Amino acid sequence: MKIILVGGGRLGVALSNILSKERHDVVLIEKNDALADELAEKLDALVLHGDGSDAGLLRDANIEASDAVFALTSDDRANIKICELAKSAKVRTIVSRLNDADSEKDFAKAGIEILIDATATAAFAFRKAAERPGRPLVGFVAGGKAEIFEASVRKDSKLAGKAIADAAKDFSIACISREGKIILPKPETKIREGDILTVCAPVDDVKKIDAYFKA
């Protein structure tokens, strides 16, 4: 895919590296001249210097042929404008960083629906880690209504020795990590001690699900 990233901060750099490794065609736009030059040297991406909310620069980045645009600046007003220009260019996937929760209504007015509040997401993940030490949080889906996390199966767990069909009543098991291998579970797949399960469950039910991993 051809993807335009606007904003060369830590988030933009990390995302650029991930996407480049996945063989996507990445264009990164950075307003700061010195930083743009630095990033051009170290990133496997085309780095353009300029204001990413400028329509002319986005045309130079070939926005009309892009599959996705990610607005990653620290200025919500700039991000809204970037997203509006991407909509005008009929870009299929448009995602913006949300810096201030109060700006969410402005994004909604502009018809921008996919927002990622990195600070709130990180804070929530830390809180979840405090609630359930040793249960890594993978992320949230369904508009934050469902949670994906990893959990280890102990010897005394109620899940040990059970088939997937008999074990997962209140949640779904997406995959099993066993001895370094990934298993896509079938109804008859037996859960073993030491398995690491990737679980998807409604946020409101997660605490109840903890009981499955205890004696």
Q: What is the CATH number of the domain that holds 99?
A: 3.40.50.720
Averaged pLDDT for residues 151-166: 87
Do 113 and 8 share a domain, yes or no? yes
Confidence (pLDDT) at 134: 55
**What is the band of 176 on the pLDDT scale with cuts at 50, 70, 90?**
very high
Please check whether residue 195 is in contact with residue 152, taking contact to mean a CB–CB distance below 8 angstroms: yes
Do 154 and 84 share a domain, yes or no? no
- Asked if pLDDT for residue 125 goes beyond 90, the answer is no
Averaged pLDDT for residues 121-136: 63
Strand ranges for 62-130 from DSSP E: 68-71, 93-97, 115-116
Confidence (pLDDT) at 128: 62
Q: Which among 83, 100, 119 is the end of a domain?
A: 119
Q: What are the contacts of 89-93 at 24+ separation with CB within 8 A?
A: 89/58, 89/63, 89/64, 90/64, 91/63, 91/66, 91/67, 92/67, 92/68, 93/67, 93/68, 93/69
Do 27 and 86 share a domain, yes or no? yes
Averaged pLDDT for residues 45-66: 95
At 60, is the secondary structure helix, strand, or coil? Answer: helix
Do 98 and 8 share a domain, yes or no? yes
Number of domains in the chain: 2
Confidence (pLDDT) at 31: 95
**What is the band of 202 on the pLDDT scale with cuts at 50, 70, 90?**
confident
Please check whether residue 113 is in contact with residue 155, taking contact to mean a CB–CB distance below 8 angstroms: no
Beta strands 2-6 and 25-30, pairing class: parallel
Do 167 and 113 share a domain, yes or no? no
Average predicted confidence (pLDDT) for the chain: 87
**Amino acid identity for residue 149 in this structure:** F
Confidence (pLDDT) at 55: 95
**What is the band of 130 on the pLDDT scale with cuts at 50, 70, 90?**
low
Do 19 and 110 share a domain, yes or no? yes
Do 113 and 14 share a domain, yes or no? yes
Identify the domain containing residue 134 by its residue range: 126-213
User: Which has the minimum average pLDDT: 31-45, 65-79, 103-117?
Assistant: 103-117
Instruction: Give the separation between CA 96 and CA 114, rounded to whole angstroms.
Output: 7
Instruction: Give the separation between CA 42 and CA 38, rounded to whole angstroms.
Output: 7
Do 105 and 27 share a domain, yes or no? yes
Do 146 and 106 share a domain, yes or no? no
Confidence (pLDDT) at 82: 97
Confidence (pLDDT) at 116: 85
Averaged pLDDT for residues 122-150: 67
User: Which has the minimum average pLDDT: 56-65, 80-89, 112-121?
Assistant: 112-121
Q: Which residues pair with 46 in a beta bridge?
A: 27
